Structure 1
Amino acid sequence: MKRHDVAGPRYTSYPTADRFVEAHQGAQHLQALRQRGTAQPLSVYVHIPFCEQLCYYCACNKIITKHHERAAPYLAALNVEMDLVAEALGGSSDGIAPVSQLHLGGGSPTFLSDSELSALMDALRRRFKLLPGAELSIEVDPRTVDRQRLAHLRGLGFNRLSFGVQDFDAAVQKAVHRVQPFEQVAALMSQARELGFASTNVDLIYGLPLQSPASFARTIQQVAELRPDRIAMYAYAHLPQRFKPQRRIVAELLPPAGDKLAMLSGAISALLGEGYAYIGMDHFALPDDPLAIAKRQGLLHRGFQGYSTQPDCDLVGLGVSAISRVGATYAQNAQTLDEYEDALRQRQLPVQRGLALTRDDLLRRAVIMALMCQGRVEFEPIAASYLVDVPSYFAPELARLTQLAGQGLVELEPGAIQVTPLGWYFVRAVALVFDRYLQADASRERFSKII
């Protein structure tokens, strides 16, 4: 753990978003959407940036406001963006784009009122065909919902909830400006099950101010008592130079690196002891959860929302700062509300930057995603798909992997790379060997730590 306590990408995409260029804008995204059409199911992400209260650790694109009337013009802009996207996809009464996965994130999507959420879902259903059995998930701030609101979400078709918890220790919650008692979250989890939600997820963060191995162990035990279907446990990356809210965190109160490692190690041991399966990186799931089943069957996928059971389908991102992946392109919307809404008032896609992937990008993406999702790269299918001799093409990378093989993280076979059970905990370290951009760029300060 100490050896690999270095910064590196999370590889929700390759190339990573910091490589996007401003030369790639709305016209290029429009062309990618038109070429794609509506033949294959899509994944759709909708970003709702508003929050009533600032959490000091937050690195998300958000707008802090208690003025709920600000949502109305934003939802109007979202409607225009949906129109433009559906039109580019060839959407019509008989050609509407099918969607197998929908996720509302933020910010806090539950900042919206019940009527606004209803209107948003109606708008999405007019432009996209939500398929039977589709995963419909929403991020929930426990401080903004009660049983009645959860029932409304269930009535809108949502079948998966993600609760932002981070930590249950009262002192830690006060230090990061997010106070929500364990009892409140426990009641909501129980109500979600009663209402028939298929899956609940809990987000945790380790490395926050005033956390200690002992206090975080108590939080892990409390989470285990709640028995969520999935747990996402992220390392806090203190980057106050990039994220202004983090300047309110007192750096002297942050746990030392050794304590962070102890928190991670203890949490992994505790969750495995509670019967959770380790999915990869910072994700855990109960053995009968579709994510754990996909991991066992070698059918995991990875995208901008992390690990998924969905096939490797295109993603349409809607809303301020949202990222789309369509074919061999990425496109990111404007990151300020004014720029986003200005573009849509002119009925232009609000894309501000993006990337058209090269042949080398696509090849390396295939290798990195195979490592991140299956923990194994077979040379033969890669060679057939990209017409390369893998050992020759990746000779420098394979040479660097010998060091990781010596540490017991990978096994180098004649025609494959296999990540070991130990290496699965450090899979980012294995993947970044194949990152051409990162290997050429010694500065990794913009990334979070690998563990």
Structure 2
Amino acid sequence: MTPAAPLFRPDLLARYDAHGPRYTSYPTAVQFTDSFDAAHYREAAGKSNANADLSLYFHIPFCDTVCFYCGCNKVATKNRAHARPYLDRMKRELALQAALFDRSRPVTQLHWGGGTPTFLSHDEMTELMSATREHFNLVPDERAEYSIEVDPREASAETIALLRALGFNRISLGVQDFDERVQRAVNRIQPREMTETVLDAARDNGFKSVSVDLIYGLPHQSVESFSRTLDAIVELKPDRVSVFGYAHMPSLFKMQRQIDDSALPSPAVRLAILERVISRMSEAGYVYIGMDHFALPGDELARAFEAGTLQRNFQGYSTHADCDLIGIGASSIGKVGDVYAQNARELADYTAAIDAGNLAIARGVRLSADDTLRREVIMRLMCGGALRFDDIASAHGIDFPAAFANELARLAPMADDGLIELSRDAIRVLPAGRMLVRNVASVFDRYLGQSSLRRFSRTI
């Protein structure tokens, strides 16, 4: 029996495969409402914990070419001149946001996502980081977790050296699949050598962690073809690997209509590919962190998982404790105190708000006491795979079994199936349930029945 075998139970995965949230937040973005505005956000910022660290997320939506599978908020254009006015507005937004927070609060986490952040020129990236340092207290490198998403088609070795000089010390490379037929089908031509050049440059420049993103379930993929990609990734040996299941939702994402449905792997093939992912990554010595994340044993994500200090935010799993998160740019989501807030998604709406001298917040939600309670339950299950009732009871002043009697009853079949261990005083996610932890967590989501599940990706 391979080390990965207890994780992979095809009978359970097939039975429990369903649409459901990824729980990068709770409540999820589906519950955000446009009755929440900038005034609510300012109030939350004024009441936020002045001793809490800050995290900054920048959304840079531009892409030179569009990948057909992508569901991100993006603007496909070859006109690099679009970056200049957007950069100017992000700088103005930085000033507006900074005015709401104590200047002494340290920024221990920073992330540039997109889109393609390196759509910006070298000078523009330097300018944006300089403006960030002008308005916020960015900590020294040894305390910082500053990451950036990089498309290897859009970055040279010189770009990587610049990013390190600007303060980035973690990098995530989009790969998806090395198979040429798959790349043509999704409009992302990216030879292995291109990725290897950027990865080597990241190591040469002292990046603390290099992550690679893959996707299974894309057109023309097979167990054999994806195995070759996995073998190549193992040879490159990034510190972290994320292997996401492709969510084909052409009714929501117009660009996905370019994908030939008949070329997508069947559910059985998807499961077989996933089984190969688990076994190959485990054979290569990667630690299975949860859901779709793997890390080498020495990586800080693996260490946080082993220590039980893993966190989860809008960028996925994280090593940092709960920070106040400030979102910058169109569609960015922040979390400050007891609220989530999202900027206007459309570039025109974002532009109009910033040009008027206002924050661009268009919707959000203020958490109730019940939301806060359920968020802690869900995040403990998602990140630690275990939950002691007494810990929740003492923190929230409740009798856990009484307060969640219905939820515990719904968990009983999962316990019978071997996904979890359910005792009088705790829930523990078993190896066979770790890939289905979203299903376990969703039992505690009181909004799920009110939302269209088709708005969420499949759990497998």
Select 2:132's aligned residue among 124, 130, 141. 124
Q: Does residue 28 of structure 2 align to residue 28 of structure 1? A: no
1:81 maps to a residue whose letter is E
Q: Does residue 408 of structure 2 align to residue 398 of structure 1? A: yes
Select 1:67's aligned residue among 79, 84, 91. 79
Matched-pair contact (CA < 8 Å) for 1:86–1:97:
no
Select 1:217's aligned residue among 224, 227, 240. 227
Select 1:361's aligned residue among 371, 387, 406. 371
TM-score, with structure 1 as normaliser:
0.97
Distance (whole Å) between structure 1 residues aligned to residue 86 and residue 29 of structure 2: 24
Secondary structure, aligned partner of 2:431: coil
Secondary structure, aligned partner of 1:43: strand
Select 1:8's aligned residue among 17, 20, 44. 20
Distance (whole Å) between structure 2 residues aligned to residue 349 and residue 38 of structure 1: 21
- The 1:442–1:65 alpha-carbon spacing in structure 2 relative to 1, beyond 3 Å, is closer
Matched-pair contact (CA < 8 Å) for 1:96–1:127:
no
1:41 maps to a residue whose letter is D
2:18 maps to a residue whose letter is V
Select 1:156's aligned residue among 142, 162, 166. 166
Secondary structure, aligned partner of 2:14: coil
Aligned to 1:111: 119
1:238 maps to a residue whose letter is H
Secondary structure, aligned partner of 1:307: strand
Aligned to 2:54: 42
Secondary structure, aligned partner of 2:279: helix
- Superposed counterparts of 1:48-447, under 5 Å: 48-90=60-102, 95-132=103-140, 133-438=143-448, 440-441=449-450, 443-447=452-456
Once the 2 structures are TM-superposed, how far is the Cα of residue 352 of structure 1 from its aligned partner? Answer: 0.6
2:29 maps to a residue whose letter is A
Once the 2 structures are TM-superposed, how far is the Cα of residue 46 of structure 1 from its aligned partner? Answer: 0.4
Deviations 1:5-57 (A, max 9, x none): 11110000011101101000111111111222643211110000000001000
Distance (whole Å) between structure 1 residues aligned to residue 99 and residue 201 of structure 2: 39
Matched-pair contact (CA < 8 Å) for 1:22–1:354:
yes
Aligned to 2:3: none
Secondary structure, aligned partner of 1:355: strand
Matched-pair contact (CA < 8 Å) for 2:30–2:451:
no
Secondary structure, aligned partner of 1:316: strand
Distance (whole Å) between structure 2 residues aligned to residue 159 and residue 169 of structure 1: 29
Matched-pair contact (CA < 8 Å) for 1:50–1:109:
yes
Once the 2 structures are TM-superposed, how far is the Cα of residue 195 of structure 1 from its aligned partner? Answer: 1.3
Distance (whole Å) between structure 1 residues aligned to residue 56 and residue 193 of structure 2: 33
Deviations 1:124-180 (A, max 9, x none): 111111112201111101011111111111111111111000000000000000001
Secondary structure, aligned partner of 1:434: coil
Matched-pair contact (CA < 8 Å) for 1:140–1:161:
yes
1:319 maps to a residue whose letter is G
Question: How many residues in Structure 1 have an aligned counterpart in Structure 2?
Answer: 446
Once the 2 structures are TM-superposed, how far is the Cα of residue 443 of structure 1 from its aligned partner? Answer: 3.3
1:284 maps to a residue whose letter is F
Secondary structure, aligned partner of 1:284: strand
Unaligned runs of 5+ in 1: none
1:40 maps to a residue whose letter is A
Distance (whole Å) between structure 1 residues aligned to residue 184 and residue 314 of structure 2: 30
Once the 2 structures are TM-superposed, how far is the Cα of residue 309 of structure 1 from its aligned partner? Answer: 0.4
Matched-pair contact (CA < 8 Å) for 1:12–1:303:
yes
2:242 maps to a residue whose letter is A
1:98 maps to a residue whose letter is P
Distance (whole Å) between structure 1 residues aligned to residue 104 and residue 94 of structure 2: 12
1:441 maps to a residue whose letter is Q
Deviations 1:369-428 (A, max 9, x none): 000011111111211121111101100100011100001111112211111122112111
Deviations 1:158-210 (A, max 9, x none): 11111000000000000000001011111221121111111100000000011
Matched-pair contact (CA < 8 Å) for 1:43–1:315:
yes
Distance (whole Å) between structure 2 residues aligned to residue 232 and residue 51 of structure 1: 21
2:285 maps to a residue whose letter is G
- Aligned-residue Cα RMSD (Å) equals 1.0
Secondary structure, aligned partner of 1:8: coil
Distance (whole Å) between structure 2 residues aligned to residue 399 and residue 275 of structure 1: 37
1:87 maps to a residue whose letter is A
Aligned to 2:4: none
Matched-pair contact (CA < 8 Å) for 2:49–2:337:
no
Aligned to 2:6: none
1:35 maps to a residue whose letter is K
Unaligned runs of 5+ in 2: 1-12
Matched-pair contact (CA < 8 Å) for 2:68–2:256:
yes
Secondary structure, aligned partner of 2:72: coil
The ranges of structure 1 where at least 4 consecutive aligned residues each deviate by more than 3 angstroms after the TM superposition are: none
Distance (whole Å) between structure 1 residues aligned to residue 352 and residue 394 of structure 2: 46
1:447 maps to a residue whose letter is F
1:433 maps to a residue whose letter is V
Deviations 1:317-360 (A, max 9, x none): 11000000111100000001110010011111101100001111
Matched-pair contact (CA < 8 Å) for 1:97–1:127:
no
Once the 2 structures are TM-superposed, how far is the Cα of residue 441 of structure 1 from its aligned partner? Answer: 3.2
